[in-house]
Amino acid sequence: MKPTLALIATGGTIAGLAEDSAAPANYTAGVVDAGALVAAVPPLRELANLRVEQLCNVDSSDLTPAHWLALARRVQALTTDPAIAGIVVTHGTDTLEETAAFLALCHRGDTPVVLTGAMRPANALSADGPANLHDACRVALAEDSRGRGVMVVFAGEILPALPLSKARLGLQPYVAGAGGALGMAAGRPRFFHPHQPSPAVLDAAACPALPEVAILYVAAGTPPQALRDALRHGARGAVLALPGSGTVPRAWEETIAEACSAGIRIVRGSRLASSFVPSRRQDLELGTWAAGALAPAQARVALIVAIAAGLEQLPAALAAQAR
């Protein structure tokens, strides 16, 4: 008997259509529905019985934290169904790293959750979506995937949900943290290391809404007024994309310390494409948290979850990375 696989579609380039298949740069994301995505990959029907649903069908740049909550709640509900062997989420690449981070911090149980997408629209010559979707489904169904939580499958690689960032526009746009890829997805999925369970931090079903958190890019001479403005407009926290390995300009220190004293959560991150921001004595002095291996986009997700869950630090597994 074939296993049952749940597929949740959210749109993105994998569901996009180009005006000219030979010029795929000009396309509209979120056009093809979930059923058509599956129909374009006939071998999927040989792998599993598919339960296909459409959460939304948009460009991922239009997704919001409200979409994360809706998706996490749906995933959580599916993981309680013993008939579901795995869950695949199709997603636009621009913000996939953020959704993956949120799901990873909410995921409970052993059911694998795999996100994938495409860099070329569905009707492009040599579209990459069908192969990525097939690989993602194989990984979600693999016995060795159980207990590994949330993963990303792209261009034949199995990548961690955290830390992860979109770093380029090639067919493999994602860069994992120092640990690199978890395994290979092409053919029979193979993992390089035993899994390390990470407990859920936030119960999405019990969370009515998520707090506003800003990301502020700090360049040479950027005034701290940017932080005061974000807080005045309702932000309950902020991630600072700072120079180097999270260096705080002296002109920002007083404003940051005042904000932290008032209960605002501030995370020191780095604006570098690849960096690590360790905890420093300055964090104790100012009241800030260090982003560790997380790029600003994922650090923002982690901070949103920490505030929503009432944590006194970034989620434990991430806080350990920052030391």
Which tens digits make up the pLDDT trace of 75-89?
999 999 999 999 999
- Is there a single domain that holds both residue 167 and residue 250? no
Domain boundary among 191, 226, 243: 191
Residue 263 in domain: yes
- Is there a single domain that holds both residue 15 and residue 164? yes
- Is there a single domain that holds both residue 87 and residue 163? yes
- Is there a single domain that holds both residue 160 and residue 226? no
**pLDDT for position 195:** 82
Write the CB contacts of 180 (distance below 8 Å, at least 6 apart in sequence): none
Contact between 292 and 276 under an 8 Å Cβ cutoff? The reply is yes
Residue 145 in domain: yes
- Is there a single domain that holds both residue 147 and residue 236? no
Residue 36 in domain: yes
**pLDDT for position 320:** 52
What is the C-alpha separation between 202 and 235, in angstroms, rounded? 20
Residue 203 in domain: no
- Is there a single domain that holds both residue 160 and residue 57? yes
Residue 302 in domain: yes
User: Per-residue pLDDT tens for 171-210?
Assistant: 999 999 888 999 999 888 999 988 877 789 999 999 999 9
Give the mean model confidence (pLDDT) for residues 238-256.
97
Q: What is the dihedral of CA 274, 279, 284, 289, to 10 degrees?
A: 50
pLDDT at 275 over 90: no
- Is there a single domain that holds both residue 92 and residue 228? no
Contact between 183 and 191 under an 8 Å Cβ cutoff? The reply is yes
Domain with 228, as residue range(s), is 211-322
Sign of CA dihedral 129, 132, 133, 134: positive
CB atoms within 10 A of CB 218: 24
Contact between 88 and 114 under an 8 Å Cβ cutoff? The reply is yes
Q: Which of 310, 92, 74, 315 shows the shortest CA–CA distance to 210?
A: 310
Domain boundary among 139, 163, 191: 191
- Is there a single domain that holds both residue 148 and residue 232? no
Give the mean model confidence (pLDDT) for residues 264-285.
94
Please give the DSSP secondary-structure letter assigned to residue 22.
T
- Is there a single domain that holds both residue 143 and residue 216? no
Give the mean model confidence (pLDDT) for residues 251-278.
96
- Is there a single domain that holds both residue 73 and residue 217? no
Residue 201 in domain: no
**pLDDT for position 199:** 80
Q: Which residues are catalytic?
A: 13
Q: What is the mean pLDDT of the chain?
A: 95
Question: What is the CATH number for 234?
Answer: 3.40.50.40
Give the mean model confidence (pLDDT) for residues 6-27.
95
Question: What is the CATH number for 70?
Answer: 3.40.50.1170
Residue 270 in domain: yes
Angle at which helices 96-106 and 296-309 pack, to 10 degrees?
Answer: 30
- Is there a single domain that holds both residue 187 and residue 216? no
Residue 269 in domain: yes
Total number of domains constituting the chain: 2
- Is there a single domain that holds both residue 13 and residue 154? yes
